[in-house]
Amino acid sequence: MAATTPQGRLQGKNAIITGAGGGIGLETSILFAREGANVLMADVSEPALAKALAKVKEVVPTALRVESIRCDVSKESDVQAMVESQDSWGGTDVIFNNAGIMHANDADAIDTPEKIWDLTHNINVKGVWFGSKHAVLSLRRHKKARGSIINTASVVALVGAATPQLAYTASKGAVLAMTRELAIVHAREGFRFNALCPAPLNTPLLQDWLGDDQAKRFRREVHFPTGRFGEPIEQAHAVVFLASDESSFVNGTDFVVDGGMTKAY
Ligand code: NAD
């Protein structure tokens, strides 16, 4: 589970990571910096972002360029400003549209409040659309022959959750469908789109949602052949692969990183 020896897989690439203030986004920022990328870390929370940026600089002192920008991915003007701020770096090569929420009041069809549905979809779905849109515009503006866009979906886009979170599940299904279509539409421009599908993993998002509810935890954990949730770094390694040229023929996938969870019965 530890980080592997860096091999310069992302050398010279300019990358943007949203939701970089914690969890998967922070671990991915660290691995991207280790692999030689120039990294722009983005998050809606300024305190989380400041702490995360300091962490990356501390653990990767050799990082070439790591900066941060506050961005609410549900606001197109923020996303546009974030992507355009990399114009002076030579344009964006990779964007990891990772920011997402799973609200504590997200429940089943009966009990999910409409405002939680809208909030979830504004961040999880519109955020990915805006990030994808401005990535394509930037790649074209800078006449890039290739680009990699990775959008975070979830295993709940593939299998139904017995502990309901309807707004979240529907939002991740939308991310998967959107990513597939983007992959087909932009393939001949050299722009690849893949959806990362993590299973539950140990990040603040999951811990906050589980709280102290042991029954809820058990309902989730029991599905894992590995007997444990995943760790953010295990997702981050997959994202490095999808961002790198090693995955040049990987396009439009539902890239499942789940310890076998979705294959278990
Ligand atoms: P996390 O809560 O640890 O981190 C998410 C980050 O996104 C936070 O720093 C938060 O401030 C930021 N964020 C929230 N709203 C934002 C907005 N509007 N604009 C910009 N940033 C915003 O979560 P995580 O577990 O690392 O999740 C990352 C992604 O992985 C999410 O899309 C999530 O849905 C997905 N995911 C997580 C799990 C899991 O079990 N943790 C499983 C499957 C998928």
Per-run averaged pLDDT (10 residues), the chain, 265 residues = 81 98 98 98 98 98 95 98 98 98 96 98 98 98 98 97 93 98 98 97 85 85 89 98 98 97 91
Q: Which of 130, 168, 191, 255 is catalytic?
A: 168
Active site residue 168: yes
Strands 94-97 and 38-43: unpaired
User: Which protein residue has the closest C-alpha to ligand 1 atom 7?
Assistant: 19
Q: State the pTM of this model.
A: 0.97
Q: Verify whether ligand 1 is closer than 6 Å to residue 123 (CB atom).
A: yes
